[in-house]
Amino acid sequence: MYINKRGLREIGNVLFKRPTVGRLITTAWITPIYLGLRQTAASFRALDEVIYPEYRDQKVERPVFVFASPRSGTTLAHRLISMDDEVFTTVKLYQTIFPSITATKTFKRLIELAQTSLGSVLNRAYDFFNSPFESRWQDVHHLSLNQAEEDVATLIYSLESPTAGLLFPFMEDLPSQTWIDRQPPEDRRAFMDSYKRTIQRHVFEAGGKRFLNKNVFFSTRVRSVYEKFPDAAFVYLVRDPHDCLPSFLNMFYQAWKAHSPNIRPDGEEIQALKRLGYDYYRYALECRKEIPEDQFIVIRYEDLIRDPKKAILGLYGRLGMPVSEAFEAKLDEAVSAQREYESPRDFELDFFGITREEVSAELREVFEEFGYDTPEQPHYLQAAE
């Protein structure tokens, strides 16, 4: 399995930077779990090379990548689209932990056995392994081993995800993990070759269906993915930065407080994360200008929440895809259950020492491009009265 050697050096450099007891303890128990899972995944992938070598010839045609700044509705959009399972195949949580054909087939076989006399034992084992996921992030993002999910674990194995920043709160010291597109060409190619083989494995096991993916930290790899998959479609969820940014900051802040309680909400760590949040917006706008309009499709978060079915059907229209009666029925049922959906937002910008004026000044082009109000506009002033 590929690993980002620059990322290893970056983590080595911040491992004891302003250490706290909580962070050292957390690192000490997470590291062996990480290494154990990574080695298990690598073993399964080695078996793939022996048992299913033909996966390397699998074509990946017109994959769809859903992305956004964090807390912008990607989970809702992704899970709605993934219900069209006659057309799309998407990664489930267990598949991102073990990105292997052999592992997927083994898991599916265990599900079949769970319906037999061994069911009670297997179901208890599943509940044991699944409960930490369901309990840890329930209030922020519902997780379950057999549920559609972003491929975060696969990327963490390669040290190609800003998720490492949840443990090491020094985002500007982790440049290779926060900006794949800015890595040296040879490193980008090596990672993308490995990433393509991961997708090929998934599509092969799914019988050649169209690949659907979602990742909130995808912005900084759009160019690399577009180079590797020139027929890919990118679905960009955009949300008013005034609302999105505090949710994004809070996601990391809560994790940091758990192991480094002295971190301040307006401290330098949050300020570095804020700058990364700004860059996510700017970079997505840059990429939109470079990728053909029919391959870079924007959905406003507000439109998705207001009418999810209309937003998804509109997306299918832009992609030139027919909508089956079965999928439309699933959409109706899911939308009915999602009437009260709202991405959590427990904190405002001022909690993190940020003003609305600063955000709109930094991201003026984003506000103008997508029609969001800034504090200087009459619409905002009237709403504030």
What CATH number is given to the structural domain containing 94?
A: 3.40.50.300
pLDDT at residue 120 in the model: 66
Looking at residue 138, its pLDDT comes to 45
Kindly tell me if the per-residue pLDDT of 384 is higher than 50. Answer: no
For the chain, give the number of residues. Answer: 385
What per-residue confidence (pLDDT) applies to 376?
56
Lowest mean pLDDT among 6-10, 159-163, 216-220, 311-315: 216-220
Which stretches within 206-267 are classed as H helix? 222-228, 241-259
| Residue 175 lies inside a defined structural domain of this protein | yes
User: Six-digit token pair at 346?
Assistant: 């427990």
**Residue 185 backbone phi and psi in degrees, to 5:** -50, -40
Residue 320 placed within a domain:
yes
Domains identified in the chain, total number: 1
Q: Are 165 and 276 in contact (CB under 8 A)?
A: no
Q: Is residue 293 part of a domain?
A: yes
pLDDT the model gives residue 335: 85
Percent of the chain whose pLDDT exceeds 90: 72
Is there a domain that residue 121 lies in?
no
Q: Give the pLDDT band of residue 183 (cuts 50, 70, 90).
A: very high
In a domain, 107, yes or no: no
pLDDT of residue 149: 83
Does residue 85 form part of some domain?
A: yes
* Within-domain flag for 125: no
Q: Quick: pLDDT tens for 262-289.
A: 999 999 999 999 999 999 999 999 999 9
Least confident of 40-44, 214-218, 371-375: 371-375
In a domain, 382, yes or no: no
State the sign of the Cα–Cα–Cα–Cα dihedral 149, 154, 160, 166: positive
pLDDT on residue 328: 94
3-state secondary structure 193-207: HHHHHHHHHHHHHCC
Report, as an integer, the average pLDDT of 137-162: 75
Q: Quick check: helix, strand or coil at residue 65?
A: strand
- Give the range of the structural domain holding residue 50, as residue numbers without chain letter: 5-101+147-354
